[in-house]
């Protein structure tokens, strides 16, 4: 079995599929494999205090394009936060993929992922003055404490973390670590999958490039796990996608699948800066001195007036520390509250610019593009909640307004200019029944119209969960690995 893409999902698949010694598994990753010894990994990828900017596919690009290129994928560069979505997410996924995707059926997969990734609650020492006050402020606004690691209700609380003592524990450690010594598992780093070769409705090979040399790898089953941007890119380069669009890019259409690259769904957000009081800077500096300053450690799951009962469609995320972008003089920090749109109606798209794999993909996140204005309206409500949180008796003494215009009163253009992302793209190889013209895969990851090809990463989720996506993607990959094992047995 050939697994293309060694990120979060790819590591799960390679580990689970190679549990059976009778099955030979080869994992192909474009980025480097830094090996089995966590201490030998680059410090930037292990340090959980910050988001590294090395080991990325592209440099100096719009933030929504960021994605890791290294064995372990984006688990090596991300914020280490884990939360779970609402029952409504599972209803959406079950409609598309069948009963395997219900909350109850996915619970064991979530638990496996929690164990493998060593997820743990936030230790008390990692709370900054700002995070502690934000938790008190949330309670002041009436939010109840909730467990963020399971489906449930709106409320406030803390995420689970894949970091211990300041060090990130990524999917290559969590999943491949115990599997690497198996004789039936091969891991190829620095090897880029260029295209699949098709013949008679089957994949007969995968052309990969390593050290400038091209070769064709063959297997009985091909599983794509190149992520929400990489997997549709690979399908499109292989001639699997919207036939007219492929012709425009100079690629011969092999299988007309209009949904490939469509339905891109990510969670945009706006950060509302506050002006830290001197006491806050002093407290944050003291915590940094102890090595325990983390930018965010709590969140609110909030419901806008557009949200169905019992769910939530916003994350309200207070943060304080070194700025994510740029820098401040020593002893000065950035503090504020972000509002993220968790269930966007807008959809973007991934397209090929040309057949040349070296040409960057055309990625349009489609943020706030829905014609009904749902997303702008919900985001504005999120900003109002952020303002109310900042004004609570717990938070107000720590920081004042940074601008005369409240963010919820920004013009639409002002809002768009300040838009960031939570980095949770999904949906570009969405699962759904074969009768759905935009479905790319079925509920077990099989690509419609190609016999021995599956996709098993974030791209198969037809809608983004009301959560950070790493834990849902880990659980989805566990589920899809089980589906593959059952089909093979």
Ligand X SMILES: Cc1cc2nc3c(=O)[nH]c(=O)nc-3n(C[C@H](O)[C@H](O)[C@H](O)COP(=O)(O)OP(=O)(O)OC[C@H]3O[C@@H](n4cnc5c(N)ncnc54)[C@H](O)[C@@H]3O)c2cc1C
Q: Based on the shown chain and the rule CB under 6 A, indicate whether residue 4 belongs to the binding site for ligand X.
A: yes
Q: Does 89 bind ligand X (CB under 6 A)?
A: no
Using alpha carbons only, what angle is made at residue 114 by residues 108 and 117, rounded to the nearest 5 degrees? 135
Residue from 3, 17, 73, 238 in contact with ligand X (CB under 6 A)? 73
What is the strand order of the sheet 222-224 is part of? 185-188, 25-28, 2-4, 222-224, 453-455
Binding of residue 365 to ligand X (CB under 6 A): no
422 is in an annotated binding site: yes
- Strand, coil or helix: 157: strand
Nearest to 154, CA basis, from 313, 335, 361, 286: 313
Q: Kindly report the number of other CB atoms within 10 A of residue 111's CB atom.
A: 14
Place of tokens 């098709």: 198
Contacts of 404 (CB under 8 A, 6+ apart): none
The residue from 81, 173, 294, 333 that contacts ligand X (CB under 6 A) is 81
Q: Token pair for residue 47?
A: 């340090």
Residue 180 DSSP SS3: coil
Does residue 479 bind ligand X (CB under 6 A)?
no
Any contact of residue 263 with ligand X (CB under 6 A)? no
Q: Which is nearer to ligand X, 317 or 389 (CB)?
A: 317
Cβ proximity of 314 and 382 under 8 Å: yes
Q: Which is closer to ligand X, CB of 79 or CB of 273?
A: 79
Nearer to ligand X (CB atom), residue 7 or residue 149: 7
457 touches 228 (CB < 8 A): yes
* 5 in contact with ligand X (CB under 6 A): yes
Q: Which of 229, 280 has the CB closer to ligand X?
A: 229
Site string for ligand X, 412-441 (x = CB under 6 A): -----------xx-----------------
State yes or no: residue 193 binds ligand X (CB under 6 A). Answer: yes
Q: How many CB atoms lie within 10 A of CB 326?
A: 7
Query: CB of 284 within 8 A of CB of 333?
Result: yes
Structure tokens at 461: 């989720």
Segment contacting ligand X (CB under 6 A): 103-111, 270-278, 310-318, 466-474?
466-474
Interface with ligand X (CB under 6 A), residue from 48, 117, 119, 226: 226
Q: Which one of residues 15, 26, 29, 187 is an interface residue with ligand X (CB under 6 A)? A: 29
**Which window, 1-9, 32-40, 175-183, 289-297, contacts ligand X (CB under 6 A)?**
1-9
Residue 464 counted as an annotated binding residue: no
Q: Cα(368)–Cα(107) distance, rounded to whole angstroms?
A: 32
Q: Is 82 annotated as a binding residue?
A: no
Question: Number of helices and strands (H, E) in the chain?
Answer: 12, 24
The only residue of 1, 45, 78, 363 in contact with ligand X, by rule CB under 6 A = 78
Residues in contact with ligand X by the rule CB under 6 A: 4-10, 28-31, 51, 66-70, 73-75, 77-82, 192-193, 225-228, 230, 234, 423-424, 457-458, 468-471, 473
Binding residues for substrate, by number, are 422
């Amino acid at each position: 079995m050939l697994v293309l893409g060694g990120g979060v999902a790819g590591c799960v698949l390679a580990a689970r599929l190679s549990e059976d010694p009778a099955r030979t598994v080869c994992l192909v990753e474009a980025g480097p494999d830094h090996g089995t010894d966590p201490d030998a990994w680059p410090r930037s990828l292990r340090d959980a205090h910050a988001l590294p900017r090395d080991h990325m596919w592209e440099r100096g690009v719009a933030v929504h394009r960021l994605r890791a290129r290294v064995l372990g994928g984006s688990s090596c560069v991300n914020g280490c936060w884990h939360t779970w979505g609402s029952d409504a997410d599972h209803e959406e996924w079950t409609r598309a993929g069948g009963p395997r995707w219900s909350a109850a059926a996915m619970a064991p997969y979530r638990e496996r992922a929690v164990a493998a990734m060593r997820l743990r609650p936030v230790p008390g020492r990692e709370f900054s003055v700002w995070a502690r006050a934000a938790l008190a402020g949330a309670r002041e606004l009436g939010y109840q404490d909730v467990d963020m690691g399971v489906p449930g209700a709106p409320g406030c609380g803390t995420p689970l973390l894949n970091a211990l003592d300041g060090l990130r524990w990524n999917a290559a450690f969590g999943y491949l670590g115990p599997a690497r010594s198996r004789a039936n598992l091969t891991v190829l780093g620095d090897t880029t999958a260029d295209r699949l070769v098709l013949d008679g409705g089957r994949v007969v090979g995968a052309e990969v490039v390593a050290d400038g040399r091209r070769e064709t790898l063959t297997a009985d089953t091909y599983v794509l796990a190149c992520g929400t941007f990489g997997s549709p890119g690979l399908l499109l380069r292989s001639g699997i996608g919207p036939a007219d669009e492929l012709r425009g890019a100079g690629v011969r259409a092999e299988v007309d699948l209009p949904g490939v690259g469509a339905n891109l769904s990510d969670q945009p957000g706006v950060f509302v800066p506050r002006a830290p009081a001197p006491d806050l800077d002093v407290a944050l500096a003291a915590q940094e001195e102890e090595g325990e300053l983390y930018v965010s450690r709590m969140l609110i799951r909030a419901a806008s007036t557009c949200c169905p009962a019992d769910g939530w469609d916003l994350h309200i995320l207070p943060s304080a520390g070194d700025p994510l972008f740029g820098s401040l003089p020593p002893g000065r920090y950035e503090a504020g509250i972000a509002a993220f749109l968790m269930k966007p109606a807008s959809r973007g798209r991934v397209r090929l610019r040309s057949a040349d794999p070296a040409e960057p993909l055309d990625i349009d996140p489609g943020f706030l593009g829905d014609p009904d204005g749902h997303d702008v309206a919900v985001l504005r409500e999120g900003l109002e909640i952020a303002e109310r949180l900042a004004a609570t008796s717990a938070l107000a003494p720590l920081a004042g307004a940074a601008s005369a215009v409240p963010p919820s009163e920004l013009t639409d253009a002002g809002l768009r200019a300040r838009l960031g992302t939570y980095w949770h793209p999904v949906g570009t190889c969405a699962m759904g029944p074969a009768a759905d013209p935009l479905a790319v895969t079925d509920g077990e990851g099989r690509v419609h119209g190609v016999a021995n090809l599956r996709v098993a990463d974030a791209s198969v989720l037809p809608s983004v969960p009301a959560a950070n996506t790493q834990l849902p993607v880990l659980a989805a990959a566990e589920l899809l690995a089980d589906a593959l094992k059952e089909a093979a047995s």
